[in-house]
A and B are shown apart, each in its own frame.
Chain A
Amino acid sequence: MICEVIWHGRGGQGVVLAAQMLAEAAYRHGFRGVTATPTFGPERRGAPVIASNRISPEPIRTFAQIRKADLVVVLDESLFHAVDILGRLKDTGVLIINTNDAARYVLPESIHLFTVDAVGIAQRHHLMREGAPLVNVPMLGAVARASELVTIEDLAQVVKRKIGDDHLSQNLAALEEAYSGTTMRKHG
C-alpha cells in the first residue's frame, strides 16, 4: 500500500523542506519506498505551493501527480479560499490543519480531521522568519500524531540532521509540543 501525502502551504513556508523531512523520517522508520516532490516549476513567495510524498514498504514506481491523497497537511488555512484542498483528499482521508479554531471546520464525518495551533507553537518557540511564524516543523509533529508513517523520534533525528545548531533546540521543542498539542475531531 502506498500512502500519498499532499502538503499545502505558501511559498517561503518551507513546504518542500517539510516533505523532504517526512520522506527521510519515513525511510528511517523502515519504509523502503519514499519520494518527496515539490510543485514542479517556478515558485513564488506567498503564492500557494504544493509538495507531496509517496510512502510505501516497497520502492515507488510512479511519479505521476497525486490525484486524491490519503493525508493532506495544510500549513496556512487561508489557502481554503484559494485552493480546492478537499478536492484532492480521499473521502476517508486524514486532514491536518494549522488553526487555532477547529470549530470553524464543518467537514464530512468520514474525514479524519486533526488540528494544531502551529502558529502559536512557532511563536512561543521563536521560530520566525521575516516576521512570519515557521510552521513546517510543528506540522511534522502533527503528522506523527495523526499517522503511522513516522514517530516523533524519527522526526527528531531528521530535524537534528537538517537544522543548524542555532535553532535546533527551539525546533525540537516545537516538534514535541505540536505532537502533544494535535487534537482529533470528536464526533458528537
Chain B
Amino acid sequence: MSRVEIMTGNQAAALGARLARVQVVAAYPITPQTSLTETLAQLIESGEMQAEYIRVDGEHSALTVCIAASTIGARAFTATSANGLLYMHEQIHWAAGSRLPIVMCCVNRGVGAPWTIFNDQQDSISQRDTGWIQLYCRDNQEIIDTVIQAFRIAETIYCPVMVCYDGFVLSHTLMPVEIPEEEKVDAFLPPYRPHTILDDTNPRTINPVMFADLRANAEGILCDGYMEIRYKLEYALKGALKTIQDVSDEYALVFGRDHGGLIWEYKTSDAEVILTGMGSIATEATIAADILREKGIPAGVVGIRAYRPFPTEALIRALKRARSIHCLEKAVSYGFAGPVYTDLRAALYGSECDAQMQDYITSLGGRDIQPSTIAEVVLNRIKSDAFDGRFREPIWINCRTE
C-alpha cells in the first residue's frame, strides 16, 4: 500500500531518488538544496538505500562524478541550486553532449550577485541551452513523482533531465505526499542500460576531438561529425516531447496521479484570460484565476511543466481560444523579457492563437507574491486600452521601478 506522509520538497526528491534505485549520488551542499543531500546521505549511511555517496570538493566535481558513473552504467543523481548550478555549467553541457541519462534536481534559487538564498528561477533558466530536459514541479507530490519519471525519460532517450522546483517555497514547505509503492516503481523503471559498454578488452576513446566534416572509419563507413552529433541531440530533445507525455500518461495509469506531461490546465475550457508560468507560481495563479472568475472574468491557468523541450504544439492547442495570455515569470533574459514570454510569443507567432500577451516579472530573490496581487495586476492589464499585439515591456510586480 502506498502511504501519505507530510514532508518537504527536498524530502520528496530524496525519496524519489531512493525509489528510483539511484546507485551513485555525488553532490555538494548549497542552500536551499542542502536537506535533500543530507537526507540521501542518511538513507545511504543507514543502508536504506543501496548507493554510493561520493563526496566532492564542489559542484563541478559532483557532476563530473555523475558523468563518470553514468558512463560506466550506474544510475546517477545530483542536486544543486543557484551558483552551484552555474559552477557546473561546463559539465552540464558535457553530460548532455555525452547523452548521459543523469537526473539532477535544481532547487531553484536566485543567482548572485548580489547574494540571495531565496527563490527565483534564474539559475535553471540560465542553463536552458545546454541540451538538458527541464521539468518544473508545482508541489511536493509532483516532485517525488517527477524524479521517478525523469529517470524513465532520461534512460529512454539518453538525455539528462533537470527536475526544477522552487527553493524554500517547496523545498522547505511540508505538505502531504503519497509515497509510491516500491514494487510498482521497480516495474515502471527497469534497470539502466548504458548506450556504450566500456570493456577493457576492447578499449575505446569516448568524446574525442571531432573534425568539422564527416569522416570515414577503417571500414570506409562515413561517421558523424560534430554537427551530426549535435543534430541528434536536438532531434532527441524534440522527440522527448512524446516521451515526456507517454511516461506521464503511463505513470498516471500505474500510480493514479496525472501531472499533465508537458503542460497542465486549470479551468481553461471556457477561459479567455489565461495565466501561465512554471512551478509554484502557476499553482498560485490558480487562486488568482478563481479570484478573477469571482469578478466575472473567465480566467484559467496553463502551467508549463516541460520548458525544454518547449511544448509548442501542446501550448497552441491549450491557448487557441485565449484572448489574452499573462506570463508570470521568476527569471529575466536581461535586455529583452522573461524566458517563457519570449518562447511562447515565438511559438504562437503565426499560429491559430492570436491572443494578446503580457509578461510579468515577479518574486525575484523570494519577493512575496499574493494570489490577490496576481489577480489585480492581470485585471488592470486587461482593462488597459493600450493592449494590442505589439511587444511591450514586462511589468515588474511588487517592485519599486521609478
Give me the interface of A with B, judged by CB distance under 8 Å. Answer: 20, 23-24, 27, 32, 34-38, 40-42, 59-65, 67
A67 touches B370 (CB 8 A): yes
Residue pairs across A and B with Cβ atoms less than 8 A apart, 11 shown, are A23-B175, A24-B6, A27-B4, A36-B175, A40-B118, A40-B366, A42-B31, A59-B176, A62-B370, A63-B284, A64-B369
Question: Nearest B residue to A35 by beta-carbon distance?
Answer: B175
Complexed CA–CA distance, A67 and B332 (Å):
28
Complexed CA–CA distance, A32 and B139 (Å):
14
Please, which residues of chain B bring their CB within 8 A of the CB of A41?
Answer: 117-118, 168
The answer, among A24, A27, A35, for a CB contact under 8 Å with B173, is: A35
- Say whether B170 faces chain A, with CB atoms less than 8 Å apart: yes
Question: Nearest A residue to B284 by beta-carbon distance?
Answer: A62
Question: Nearest A residue to B174 by beta-carbon distance?
Answer: A36
Complexed CA–CA distance, A36 and B175 (Å):
7
B interface residues, tally (CB under 8 Å): 25
A34 touches B175 (CB 8 A): yes
Complexed CA–CA distance, A42 and B116 (Å):
11
- Say whether B371 faces chain A, with CB atoms less than 8 Å apart: yes
Q: Mark B173-188, 1 if CB is under 8 A from A, else 0.
A: 1111000000000000
Given contacts A20-B6, A42-B117, contact A34 B176 (CB under 8 A): yes
Question: Nearest A residue to B175 by beta-carbon distance?
Answer: A35
Complexed CA–CA distance, A65 and B367 (Å):
10
Please, which residues of chain B bring their CB within 8 A of the CB of A35?
Answer: 173-175
A36 touches B6 (CB 8 A): yes
- Say whether B280 faces chain A, with CB atoms less than 8 Å apart: yes
Question: Nearest B residue to A42 by beta-carbon distance?
Answer: B117
Please, which residues of chain B bring their CB within 8 A of the CB of A38?
Answer: 172
- Say whether B169 faces chain A, with CB atoms less than 8 Å apart: yes
A37 touches B173 (CB 8 A): yes
- Say whether B344 faces chain A, with CB atoms less than 8 Å apart: no
- Say whether B286 faces chain A, with CB atoms less than 8 Å apart: yes
Question: Nearest A residue to B266 by beta-carbon distance?
Answer: A61
Complexed CA–CA distance, A40 and B370 (Å):
16
Complexed CA–CA distance, A63 and B287 (Å):
11
Please, which residues of chain A bring their CB within 8 A of the CB of B172?
Answer: 37-38, 40
Question: Nearest A residue to B176 by beta-carbon distance?
Answer: A27
Please, which residues of chain A bring their CB within 8 A of the CB of B139?
Answer: 59
Q: Return A84 CB to nearest CB of chain B, in Å.
A: 16
Complexed CA–CA distance, A32 and B175 (Å):
10
Complexed CA–CA distance, A134 and B302 (Å):
46
Please, which residues of chain B bring their CB within 8 A of the CB of A24?
Answer: 6
A64 touches B370 (CB 8 A): yes
Please, which residues of chain B bring their CB within 8 A of the CB of A32?
Answer: 176
B283 touches A61 (CB 8 A): yes
- Say whether B393 faces chain A, with CB atoms less than 8 Å apart: no
Sample of 4 further A-B pairs with CB below 8 A, known A27-B4, A63-B169, A64-B284: A23-B174, A34-B175, A34-B176, A61-B283
